[in-house]
Structure 1
Amino acid sequence: MDEKEVTLPGGDIVMEDGSGRLIDLCGIMGGLNSAISDMTKNVVLFVQTYDKVRIRKTTMTTGVRTIASTFFEKGLDPERVEPTLVYGVELLEKYAQGKVGSKLYDIYPKKHEEKLLVMGYELIGKKIGVEIPRKTIDSILTNLGFGVSDASKQGLTLREGQTLQITVPSFRTNDINIPEDIIEEVARVYGYHNIPSVLQTATYVSQPKDMEDLFVFQNRIKIFLKHLGLNEVINYSMISKKMIEESCLKIEDHLRLSNSISEDIEYLRISLLPSLKKNIKENSGKKDVLKLFELAKVYLKRVSPVKDSPYKDGPYEESPCEEVYRLAIATNTNYSDLKGIIEAVYKELNIDVGNKNFYSVPDIIENNGIFMVELDFQSLINNCQLVPKYKPLHPYAIIKLDKTFEIQPHTTYAVVRQKAFQSKLLQKIEVVSVFENKFSLRFYYSSPDRNITEEEAKKELNRVRP
């Protein structure tokens, strides 16, 4: 087709010339071997309708979209096939001096059956919210091609109030199925501007606490990161096989969509980092400093599906994956910058990272100058404190001492911090500076019971030997 070879997935509607050679992908495009050229003398005029579902499926799976497919996938009127063919023959005879070479063949195994809908005039007023005169309703439907009659006069035994019988025209068979479809047609033509605007009373629907917490903390973190200078991104929940491989993740850990319309959105994410890395790369050069974050779900594959429901009492459906909220942050600056953002998030949520019994900075990943981190959002919610932990004013003097360390495989900030806090006099540690392979720290020494001397503080500091 168009000098391109198309592989069909199966279940498609095709036409062959009797020898097994395909000449037409029906409802979409004809084959090159059946195309009309300057040498064409005989033409077969073929007018038909097709199964719109099959046409749509073939179009989406092959990626071949044509003007014909946009018509056939919506469903055409079978009653117009013969008039269309006859009119086409007349045009060829009139403008192309064509001559009819055969009789007309009509293959119509399943004739169109007239569709009837029965309803009451009162239902139209009830649904629209305004009373419309019956003559106006009849006029609107008649002008749209519908047949309108009194059901009681047709000898039908109906429920009380159902007196309107409507005959659906063949060209509306696919989209007129229930009384509400008729009401929509009446309202559309009557004019939405003629329907009074009456706002419903606002009602608050109480949410489960875990859902309420999720919305509250999402909003809180997004606003906070915005004020830190980060930009929020919203990516597809699906990624490509290439992105998975480039991120050194396993394909088998991901759930694959069976009906994806593109290879770029084929697998459900188990991590937000591949998408953020792609965002940084695509925007490099547009801005010197890029700081992005995304707060979204990831989909972790279950060994066996379990019955799950977002509601307390169901309905329950088998879910092949576990949905988990993650917060991912990426920047093209440096390690310390990203680490500072993480600690700022902890501070905003009143998670005391300075507590000697708790210190948690997740692994920061570096890839071609892009620094990334991913946090479990539910864990942040669980460890959040509404107000900071109260610390009474320290009544005794605090001695500050600085010391510089050389970065080595066995000398890292984490190692120094762990050994320094073995001292009962140490209150906190701050990073003063980092230069080349050295970093300077400031140690705060004090006692809750008495004033200590500088010599005592220096003695404690000298014990910090990585």
Structure 2
Amino acid sequence: MDIKLPHSLLKEFLDTSARPEQIAKSLSLCGPTVDRITSYKNDHLYHIEVITNRIDSASAFGIAREAAAILPQFKYKAKIKNDPYQLNLKQLGDLPKNSPLNLQILDNSLIPRFTAIALTNTQVKPSPKPVQDWLNLSGLRPLNNVIDITNELTLKYGQPVHAFDLDKIANQQLILRESKKGESITTLDGRVHHLQGGDIVIQDGSGRLIDLCGIMGGQSSAIDSNTKNVLLFVQTYEPKHIRKTSLYTQERTLAAQIFEKRPDPELVLPTLIAGVKLLEQRASAIISSNLIDLYPDPAKNKTINLDLNWLNQFAGISLKPTQVSSILKKLGFTSKSITSQVLRVTVPSWRHHDINLTQDLAEEIIRIHGYFRMPSNLPSTTIPHTQTDPLLHHEYQARSYLSNLGFTEIYNLSLVSQDLFRQTNLKLEPKLKLSNPLSGEFEYLRTSLIPSLLSNLDANRGKVAPPLRLFELAHTYHSTKSALPDETSTLSFITYGLDFFTTKGYLEALAKHLHLNLKFKPLVKKTPPFITKHSASVYYHNHHLGTLGIISPEVTSRFNLNQTVVCADLNFAKLSLQINPILNFKTIPQYPSIYEDLTLTSTKPVADLISKLEKAHPLITSVEYLTSHQHNHTFRLEFNDPKGNLTQAKVTQIKNNLKS
């Protein structure tokens, strides 16, 4: 997540004499990475990359807190000022007793904390020019003082804020719930969203949706120049709902990016208080209601014991106890000595979700101290020898050899759609359906590589002249009795515009390269998407490895393929187990071989004929299939006698016996 932060806004929370360039360099070495700094008139703009688990740093105050801990490590004095966590309700004075409106939350799990307050006598007008300037620098368009305050609070504290026109909320009633499939809402950007259901929404007393929570407010309750009564509310939402809605609606707003990463609920009330103070100052607003603050399940304090001896051994350096305590304090942690070498550290609320282990604390201390200060010592032990997984080696061999044969390797996604598999007459397993898919195109874990390869052929049809040769060697997934599916290494290669026997030759060449002698038997059981009578089961001894065959025209026509499509679909994990790493060698024949072509007329499968020829006579040392026409099949036979030279008469006699 990237943020743009004006130096003037950072200085509201950071008291330091360090220049912007010095701040940027120090932060990049020990904290959030500052990609670059740009200058604008009397200000500077930091372009900062914030990592996903550090949403507490995605704000001016968050960066100031990091800088206050980091800059002293580089001999720059720095401290935090205007800490929002010091704000409290006393600063709002005596509040009216009436509630701002009637609120119903149908599912408390959707919203960990909700606060709201009403203000009247609001004067909507442009924001002061300095505010407009740094809003523009931050990538946000100034609109009016009320909306600008909500954006300002988000940039300052990393806590999104929303404001409603209270008079536009029917019956002064809010109902927070999950959306129903088919409901729609028009958001502030003018887009109409038809909801899939399960989104967090707010409806008013008329049943109209007025907020797509955590994403964007609705047009129907927007602040405008006539607004007098404002409902200011600040909250946190259940993150999975927000991410799902944000992705499928393609509304990747700043609020959505923050809410999906679980901001600190303890910051909600201070942000609301700061918002009220700004509305009073800039819009002459007056508080007109009591405060709603629903916080049913506050997080409990988390403590971790830190052994300083362990820390120094883990880091490989020597850190003094006072140095460790100082770093932790500046990051917001509190620590108490249990013994002279053990600290009990309390994790601050804004780090509750990502600090769980002693190692997490060590990482914080070491990064602030500076990884670049760590000694560059090589390990004092030898690196243990590890044995390569044979399957990975065999996969590499297969990939390289198929590429050398002219095949193009394809990388497809493991997630597929139900429609794609229906096109190939294949079924998906219900247990492999994702509970929260991004779209229908990525709904199931694939059980076969064939549908995606057919789709690849269709995508390349007309762009490359036939023949096309594609392959994929990747995992397929199959349900088991356990919660997790079985992942099977699978090889599928497919040809377009080549006949069955040519493709079979590719498979046999690959098998020979892997030192396997495959056997082919007629396919008996119907196996979609293959044509049963034009397909074969692939065996090594008694191990069934897969299927080789012609894809049904019914299937290929759905992919607009008008030439023959032949596919080999193999369980590569099982095939890999049959490869013997120990090779057997035989001596070169002392006497020359004789090669003769033989044509047999038979209705039997070619595989059976080859097997019969190989066993027909001890002087036949190899059989190679050449071609077929109707029921006439031609083979090339190699004859060799280890005891002496063969005569043509002897070879002719064997051939005549075979024909009879």
Tell me the TM-score range normalised by the shorter chain.
0.7 to 0.9
- Structure 2 residue 596 is the aligned partner of structure 1 residue 400: yes
Structure with larger RCO (C-alpha < 8 A, sep 6+): 2
More divergent stretch after superposition (229-238 vs 58-67): 58-67
- Contact 2:595–2:636 at 8 Å: present in 1 too? no
In the TM superposition, 1:287-326 aligns within 5 A as 287-288=464-465, 290-302=468-480, 305=481, 318=482, 321-326=485-490
- Structure 2 residue 447 is the aligned partner of structure 1 residue 270: yes
TM-score, with length taken from structure 2: 0.56
TM-score, with length taken from structure 1: 0.75
In the TM superposition, 1:374-413 aligns within 5 A as 374-385=569-580, 386-388=582-584, 390=586, 393=589, 395=591, 398=594, 400-401=596-597, 410=603, 413=606
* Distance of 2:603 and 2:223 partners within structure 1: 78
1:100 corresponds to: 286
Q: Kindly tell me: are residues 204 and 235 of structure 1, through their superposed partners in 2, closer, same or farther at Cα, counting changes over 3 Å?
A: farther
* Distance of 1:450 and 1:123 partners within structure 2: 79
* Distance of 1:419 and 1:165 partners within structure 2: 80
* Distance of 2:235 and 2:588 partners within structure 1: 86
Percentage of pairs with the same residue: 33
* Distance of 2:606 and 2:220 partners within structure 1: 73
Secondary structure of the 1:197 match is coil
Work out which of the residue numbers 504, 510, 529 in structure 2 matches 1:339: 504
Runs of 5+ consecutive residues of structure 2 not aligned to the other structure: 1-184, 186-190, 521-538
* Distance of 1:112 and 1:271 partners within structure 2: 45
In the TM superposition, 1:122-201 aligns within 5 A as 122-148=309-335, 151-152=336-337, 158=338, 161-162=341-342, 164-200=343-379, 201=381
* Distance of 1:267 and 1:143 partners within structure 2: 47
* Distance of 1:361 and 1:285 partners within structure 2: 30
2:192 corresponds to: 3
Q: Kindly tell me: are residues 358 and 174 of structure 1, through their superposed partners in 2, closer, same or farther at Cα, counting changes over 3 Å?
A: closer
Secondary structure of the 2:274 match is helix
Structure holding more strand per residue:
2
| RMSD across aligned positions (CA) | 4.1
Q: Kindly tell me: are residues 321 and 430 of structure 1, through their superposed partners in 2, closer, same or farther at Cα, counting changes over 3 Å?
A: same
2:427 corresponds to: 250
* Distance of 2:633 and 2:574 partners within structure 1: 31
* Distance of 2:317 and 2:540 partners within structure 1: 65
- Contact 1:254–1:270 at 8 Å: present in 2 too? no
**1:45: how far off?**
1.4
Work out which of the residue numbers 220, 223, 247 in structure 1 matches 2:400: 223
- Contact 1:432–1:440 at 8 Å: present in 2 too? yes
**1:245: how far off?**
0.8
* Distance of 1:79 and 1:415 partners within structure 2: 77
Secondary structure of the 2:233 match is coil
Runs of 5+ consecutive residues of structure 1 not aligned to the other structure: 153-157, 306-317
Q: Structure 1, residues 152-176: CA drift from partner, whole Å, max 9, x if none?
A: 5xxxxx35622x3544443333333
**1:124: how far off?**
2.7
Q: Structure 1, residues 204-238: CA drift from partner, whole Å, max 9, x if none?
A: 4666xxx8432332233233333333343333333
- Contact 1:342–1:361 at 8 Å: present in 2 too? no
Q: Aligned pairs, how many?
A: 434
Q: Structure 1, residues 178-216: CA drift from partner, whole Å, max 9, x if none?
A: 433322211111111111234444544666xxx843233
Work out which of the residue numbers 8, 16, 20 in structure 1 matches 2:203: 16
- Contact 2:620–2:637 at 8 Å: present in 1 too? yes
Work out which of the residue numbers 234, 259, 282 in structure 1 matches 2:436: 259
Work out which of the residue numbers 492, 497, 504 in structure 2 matches 1:328: 492
